[in-house]
A and B are shown apart, each in its own frame.
Chain A
Amino acid sequence: MMKDDPNPVRSVAENPCNMCMPLGAIIPFKGIENCMVIIHGSQGCATYMRRHMAEHFNEPVDIASSSITERGTIYGGEANLKHGLNNLIQLYQPAVVGILSTCLAETIGEDIVRIAGVFQEEQAGSETPAMIPVPTPGYGGSHFEGYFLALTGIVTALAQPTRRHDRINVLVPHISPADVREIKRLLELMQVQYTLLPDVSATLDAPYTQIYRKIPAGGTVPADIAAMPGARATIQFGATVEDELSPGKYLEINHGVPLYNLSLPMGIVACDRFLNLLETLTGNEIPKQLLDERGRLLDAMVDAHKYNREGRAVVFGEPEMVYALGQVLAENGITPVILATGSKSPRLKELLLDLTADNDEEPLILIDSDFAQIRKHCADKRINLAIGNSDGRILTEKDGIPLVRMGFPVHDRIGGQRILTVGYTGTTQLLDLITNTLLANKLKHYRENMYAKHFPFQPKTIMFKGEVSDDGQF
């Protein structure tokens, strides 16, 4: 172990900052209309992922399993998967079935692509749903890679050569249903015809209705996905996504759809870039309503800058979110002290280095990290703000650093599905939350700090780690 390497190779992951591949792969399927997912493996994987997603989204999340047992590990699980597909289709009548694999299936060498093919052949004559197998061994990568692998798999499987049409493809990363709704609202205000994928805005945040539907309404229509190759352009919010995992790249290379790969529209610059692009592509002007929203965000930034400049932040989560947040911090004078992700994302590192090249204080960028490492580096850095998923609560509990919860998972608070952070309006909300968190933390310890400052020779009062006094000193 190199002594000064901030990111040393370790064999134990302590308090991980990422999940496994199939979990990420489920989410895009949940954003397709009338779609069910089956996971080929031991039923525990599906059960764990259901419980985890249900807790975050506060919604039923139903995922089938092929329930391989010890026998299957010896004789193969093909019969289980086919049997499972059959049952799932009969009971739910989905239009699309996502088939994912797990560590178990991949280790015993199950080929879900082949099995799906055989199943469809055997069912020839009767109407079967579209089947989209995506091999996702849990050890193959984090949920972030799983997400884009599935998204690319969906596009690859459903896209058909299509005559040019006027729509624009919009591919979104793992963001909240509220964020998806907001992006749709922006597109509609810009009068854009679009196909947004995956559309989890209703499927993972369904309104209460009189009748409960086992497959929730909403989601991207499969026929629209099929027509994606004919679109005028693809806008993909996937700045950190590697090319081989990029569905936008796939459409560009195979179907010649021009790709605009942007970062999530959070903050003035990123939102402007998105809306300007829409303006260029459609020739439609940005409506007054959006200009007003932009103005309100600017107003909020002006009002808050004096508090935000005291912010020293640690940010963690999925690469796309970390990058977008990095930009919001930069715009608001909050110092990004540590930027971390549990995924292996070389591209994120490059982007963040670029973004922070002119910073006074060089941020620490942690890739493939865990919370033990993040915590260790938080010590002695006078950090007073954490932003990321709720596993970061350990920073609050142990080090007194307040946490702004966003991303996935948020499992110790309600409403993960409604956290809004994109667009001018979403950014304004997020910024208020950040500023108020800084203010609350400051006011909580204000007296102690003043006392310590003006009576330095008195017996020391208790100081909280992560607390910054007026002049930026402890």
Chain B
Amino acid sequence: MKDHLSRIVDKYPANIFKNRKEHIVLVDHDSENPQTITANTRTIPGIITSRGCCYAGCKGVVIGPIKDAITITHGPIGCGYYSWATRRNKARLEEGETDNYLNYCFSTDLQEGDIVFGGEKKLKRAIKEVVEIFHPQNIMICSTCPVGLIGDDINAVAAWAEQEFHIKVLAFSCEGYKGVTQSAGHHIANNGLIKNVVGTGNTVTGKYSVNLLGEYNIGGDSWEIERVLTRIGYEVVSVMTGNGSIAKIKNAHLANLNLVQCYRSINYIAEMIQTKYGTDWLKVNFIGVQSCIESLRDMARYFDDPVLIARTEEVIAEELDEIMPVINHYQPLCVGKTAALFVGGSRALHYQYLFQDLGMETVLAGFEFAHRDDYEGSEVIPFIKEDADSKNIETLHLEPDEKHYRLVLSREKYETLKKQIPLNYFGGMIKVMKNNSVVIDDINHYEIDEFLKLLKPDIFCAGIKEKYQIHKSGVFSKQLHSYDYTGPYAGFKGAAAFARDIALGLTAPVWNMIRPPWKTEPMLEGSLIKEVI
């Protein structure tokens, strides 16, 4: 296997070879030292990467799903257009809510003249226009590449607009060139929410109150998770940010536990809330049946109330009664198949558990914009060298809040619990993968082609940019960014939906009519002969 791997990178010119081989790890749990990987470094120019930009991470991922704010993209038309309703982060109005702007796209559509003379005036006029038409309570401004370069001060404009219209106006300087991937944008978005939103509300919360962080409600995922949590008796104070709202996020500091689903995009907020308000965070994974069960049990353990623990088991049992017949029906079609996963920052890990439930093994997994801790676990953070690109993204230094800082657990209890559940800790991807599987960071177009031939996975889960390449190679591809218009895949019911979609995808009749060149068994001929006999 090692030989095959080196053959893939061997084809590269020398400089790329050196760079790329450090982003690829052949998992070996028997190695003396923990395995390391290079991640979150500059993309190689000219290689066809799947990575996006800072703006995409900020506007597209983290703040985009907030429904009760109008987001104005300050920049030329393209960026706003391309991030318009493309992520299937669903939202609906709930009781008492009035604003949902997710179907809209607003841009200042900067023109040549604005680039030369500055765009602040146009931004102000744009704000005025949307206020007059929509009367929003919140506005968020996101800058794109040229804005930072022409020196527009969007913070000043935001301050002016807050005064002028008596609404909340947040400014995010998330110019596309900052950092090396979307990840920089997540950080900027996290900072903005902590600075200006979290902590500004005062709705009283109950004992079992939680925030669900890093859950974007793709295809309705967070609705399914919230359904289960509410059944057990938890109060979900806010979701960041799927179906989320400023109105709820502002109370996030009052919840008693933070659940972190996508670690990469939201860990900063989890950490900052902990520093400022003392709230612990728990790494959960609601993708997969077993991992759902485990996450719910971890939560119950955290609050350590016998009634809650009993109720948790009761709900788990009832949910399993409902979904297991479905999963058992589809599982035989999946068992023994292999999967490859390449998705943003957490899904490529989370879905491995779901595949496990279906009896499938993950032979390759990689992230698009991860850092080393996403692969190696949060224990590696102190050893990550800061480089010029990450230094450019502001790190907030927060102090405990005088009024709201509190600890939910006693220190002794905390120490004991920390040994049992992933409390303020994330283990990363490498530990859960089997020996000889491939972990790859920032896989590109060329490498996908090579790995498809080498590993011959039965399914390759990725995004739309990769989907058609995979299909053209004769392999089933499932989009894990948008779920190809289905979902939800989270929670118990989501697992059942996933089992169905994967089983039906793997057995689609078309696969019998085409044959990937590297599949040796003659499928079409085989089935024809069978029919004739």
What residues make up the interface of A, taking CB atoms closer than 8 Å to B?
A: 10-16, 18-23, 38, 41-45, 47-52, 54-55, 58-73, 80-81, 83-88, 90-91, 102-104, 106-108, 137-140, 142, 206, 208, 210-212, 214, 391, 394, 397, 411
> In chain B, what residue has the closest Cβ to A108?
B149
| CB–CB B42/A12 < 8 A | no
In the complex, the answer to whether B47 meets A42 with C-beta atoms within 8 Å is no
State whether A66 touches B45 (Cβ < 8 A).
yes
Binds A, one of B48-56, B210-218, B425-433: B48-56
Q: Which residue of B lies closest to A18 (CB)?
A: B77
> Binary interface profile of B, 40-80, with partner A (CB < 8 Å = 1, else 0)?
00111111111111111000000000000000100111111
Query: Assuming A16-B77, A19-B82, A212-B469, is B51 touching A66 (CB within 8 A)?
Result: no
Please judge, given known A-B contacts A42-B177, A44-B53, whether A64 and B79 are in contact too, CB under 8 Å: no
Q: Which residues of A contact B114 (CB under 8 A)?
A: 139
A82 CB, nearest partner CB in chain B, Å: 9
Q: A12-B108, A23-B78, A138-B76 are in contact. Are A47 and B52 (CB under 8 A)?
A: yes
User: Which residues from chain A contact B122 at a C-beta distance below 8 Å?
Assistant: 11
Inter-chain contact B81/A85, CB cutoff 8 Å: no
Cβ 8 A contact of B150, one of A11, A12, A107, A137 = A107
Complex CA gap A63/B517 in Å reads: 25
CB contact under 8 A between A14 and B105, given known A19-B81, A55-B464, A214-B445:
yes
Which one of B123-131, B378-386, B412-420 is at the interface?
B123-131
* Interchain CA distance A12-B75 in the complex, whole Å: 11
CB-nearest residue of chain A relative to B392? A70
Chain A to chain B: the 4 pairs with minimum beta-carbon distance, closest first: A44-B53, A20-B78, A84-B46, A84-B45
- Any chain A CB within 8 A of the CB of B180? yes
B56 near A48 (CB under 8 angstroms)?
Answer: yes
A70-B468 contact given A48-B82, A62-B445, A139-B111, CB 8 Å threshold: no
Interface flag for B389 (CB, 8 Å): yes
A19-B517 contact, Cβ under 8 Å, with A47-B53, A83-B45, A137-B112: no
Q: How long is the Cα–Cα vector from A16 to B79 in the complex, in angstroms?
A: 11
Given A12-B126, A20-B81, A139-B112, verify A87-B104 contact (CB < 8 Å): no
Q: How far is the CB of B92 from chain A (nearest CB, A)?
A: 14
A80 contacts B146, CB within 8 Å?
Answer: no
Q: Is the CB of B107 within 8 A of A13?
A: yes
Query: Are A72's CB and B177's CB within 8 A?
Result: yes
CB atoms of A394 and B103 under 8 A apart:
yes
- Binary CB contact string for chain B from 172 to 187 against chain A (1 if under 8 A, 0 otherwise): 0001111110000000
Of B44, B128, B145, B474, the contact of A107 (CB 8 Å cutoff): B145
Q: Nearest Cβ in chain B — how far from A332, in angstroms? A: 32
User: When the two chains form their complex, are residues A44 and B52 in contact, meaning their CB atoms are under 8 A apart?
Assistant: yes
Report the separation of the CA atoms of residues A106 and B103 in the bound assembly, to the nearest whole angstrom: 31
The number of inter-chain residue pairs (CB within 8 angstroms) is 235
- Taking a contact as CB atoms under 8 Å apart, the answer to whether A13 and B13 are in contact is no
State whether B49 touches A43 (Cβ < 8 A). Answer: yes
Name the residue of chain A whose CB is nearest to the CB of B510: A208
Residues of chain B from 70 to 113 with CB closer than 8 A to chain A in the complex: 72, 75-84, 86, 103-112
Q: Is the CB of A81 within 8 A of B45?
A: yes
Q: Which residues of A contact B78 (CB under 8 A)?
A: 19-23, 45, 48, 103, 138
Indicate if B463 sits at the interface (CB-CB under 8 A): yes
Cα A29 to Cα B478 with chains together (Å): 29
Chain B positions near chain A (C-beta within 8 angstroms): 12-13, 16, 42-56, 72, 75-84, 86, 103-112, 114-115, 122-123, 125-126, 128-130, 144-146, 148-150, 175-180, 388-389, 392, 445-446, 449, 463-469, 472-474, 514-517
B79 touches A13 (CB 8 A): no
Known: A16-B81, A90-B13. A47 touches B149 (CB 8 A): no
Closest to B475 in A: A212
Interchain CA distance A21-B110 in the complex, whole Å: 13
Closest chain A residue to B82, Cβ basis: A48
In chain B, what residue has the closest Cβ to A143?
B78
| Least CB distance, A88 to chain B, in whole angstroms | 4
A71 to B388, CA, bound (A): 8
Taking CB atoms, residues of chain B closer than 8 Å to A212 are 449, 469, 472-474
Chain A positions within 8 Å of B52 at CB level? 43-44, 47-48
Q: Which residues of B contact A66 (CB under 8 A)?
A: 45-46
Q: For residue B53, which residues in chain A have a CB less than 8 angstroms away from its CB?
A: 42-45, 47
Q: From residue A459, how far is it (CB to closest CB) to chain B in Å? A: 28
CB-CB under 8 A from A60, the residues of chain B are 445, 465-466, 468-469, 472
| Partner of B44 from A13, A23, A87 at Cβ < 8 Å | A87
Q: Are B46 and A38 in contact (CB under 8 A)?
A: yes
Q: Are B149 and A73 in contact (CB under 8 A)?
A: yes
Max chain A C-beta neighbours (<10 A), residue from B72, B76, B175, B392: B76
Contacts of B112 in A (CB 8 A): 137, 139-140
Contacting residues, chain A, for B77 (C-beta < 8 A): 13, 16, 18-20, 138-139, 142
User: In the complex the two chains form, is A211's CB within 8 Å of B46's CB?
Assistant: no
- Can you report 24 residue pairs joining A to B where beta carbons are below 8 Å apart? A12-B72, A13-B77, A15-B105, A16-B109, A20-B78, A45-B53, A47-B52, A48-B52, A55-B464, A60-B469, A62-B469, A67-B42, A80-B45, A84-B46, A88-B47, A103-B78, A103-B144, A104-B145, A106-B115, A107-B149, A108-B149, A137-B112, A138-B78, A139-B77
CB pair B145–A83 under 8 Å, yes or no, is no
Q: Given the complex of chains A and B, what is the CA–CA distance between A391 and B84 in angstroms?
A: 10
Cβ-closest chain A residue relative to B128 = A11
A38 CB contacts on chain B under 8 angstroms: 46
Contact assessment for B126 and A51 in the assembled complex, using a CB-CB cutoff below 8 Å: no
Q: Give Cα distance in the complex from A10 to B179, angstroms.
A: 33
Q: What residue of chain B has the Cβ atom nearest to residue A376's Cβ?
A: B133
Looking at the assembled complex, report how far the CB atom of A21 sits from the nearest CB atom of chain B, in whole angstroms.
8
Contacts of A23 in B (CB 8 A): 78
CB distance A16 to B80 under 8 Å?
yes
In the bound complex, CA of A31 to CA of B123 (Å) = 38
A87 and B145 in contact, given A51-B464, A212-B472 (Cβ under 8 angstroms):
no
B13 touches A87 (CB 8 A): yes
- Which residues of chain A are near B392, meaning CB under 8 Å? 70
| Shortest CB distance A116–B (Å) | 13
A138 to B144, CA, bound (A): 11
CA distance A85 to B46 in the complex (A): 6
Question: A45-B78, A47-B52 given as contacts; is B465 within 8 A of A68 (CB)?
Answer: no
Q: Known contacts A44-B53, A47-B56, A137-B112; is A103 also within 8 Å of B75 by CB?
A: yes
User: What residues of A have a CB within 8 angstroms of the CB of B389 in the complex?
Assistant: 69-71
Min CB distance A29 to B, Å, is 15
Closest CB of chain B to A311's CB: distance in Å?
A: 27
Q: Verify B82–A104 contact, CB threshold 8 A.
A: no
Chain B's nearest CB lies how many Å from the CB of A199? 19
- Whether A13 and B46, one on each chain, are in contact in the complex, defined by CB atoms closer than 8 angstroms, is no
B469 — which chain A residues lie within 8 A by C-beta?
A: 60, 62, 212
**Nearest neighbor of B113 in chain A, beta-carbon distance:** A139
Q: Which residue of B lies closest to A398 (CB)?
A: B103
The interface residues of chain A lying within 8 Å CB-to-CB of B474 are 208, 212
CA distance A159 to B319 in the complex (A): 68
Q: How far is the CB of B324 from chain A (nearest CB, A)?
A: 33
Bound Cα distance from A45 to B110, whole angstroms: 16
B453, closest chain A residue (CB): A212
